[in-house]
Amino acid sequence: MTEAVERAGEAIRNGEPVVYPTETVYGMGANAVDAEAVERVFEIKGRDRDKPVSLGVPDLETATEYTNPTARERAFMHEFLPGPVTVVVERGETVPDVLTAGSDRVGVRVPDHDLALALYEAAGVPVTATSANRSGTGSVRRVDELSAEIREAVAVVLDGGETPGAESTVVDVESGTIHRRGARTDEIEAWLDAN
């Protein structure tokens, strides 16, 4: 699988999108700090430009190179990442408007999935973390569920077998808002209440 991961990492560096597994569903990855590459992801998915896309990184240290989390957000991230959680924090200057739909905040993902993390390392740049499906259709749990449109539009498909299928929980720690309920929601609510 290493050769495929290297190929996928190179595709991302070259501005091309790939499909990769996570501990939730299959994701579509492109260079998250390259506005043109992100724009391509929106086109392929048929996604509205007013819906932001998350930024995937291999670890919290890398996350802080591209974002400016508060002390409370950092504490939360140390508790729940890596894992099926997207943490909304202040974006850094290198994060393009197209990724965040013009917002000054961005969702950060550190998947608890070896293949996804290997891809992020191989890419060497933040990677878009958005589901590998056309907008309005169901998330993909297996490679054979990918639509022909998606399959033909990406440079590499990394097959990691079947994924669990639960969406990540999207949380804004500062406001205490859960934007999307998914995996570990009860634990997250308990943490927000206690901290």
172, β-bridge pairs = 177
CB neighbour list of residue 11: distance below 8 Å, 6 or more residues apart: 17, 18, 155, 156
Q: List per-residue pLDDT tens for the chain, 195 residues long.
A: 699 999 999 999 999 999 999 999 999 999 999 999 999 999 999 999 999 999 999 999 999 999 999 999 999 999 999 999 999 999 999 999 999 999 999 999 999 999 999 999 999 999 999 999 999 999 999 999 999 999 999 999 999 999 998 889 999 999 999 999 999 999 999 999 999
What domains can be seen in the chain, in order of their start residue? 2-194 (3.90.870.10)
| Confidence (pTM) | 0.95
Please choose, from the candidates 68, 54, 164, the residue with its C-alpha nearest in 3D space to the C-alpha of residue 109: 54
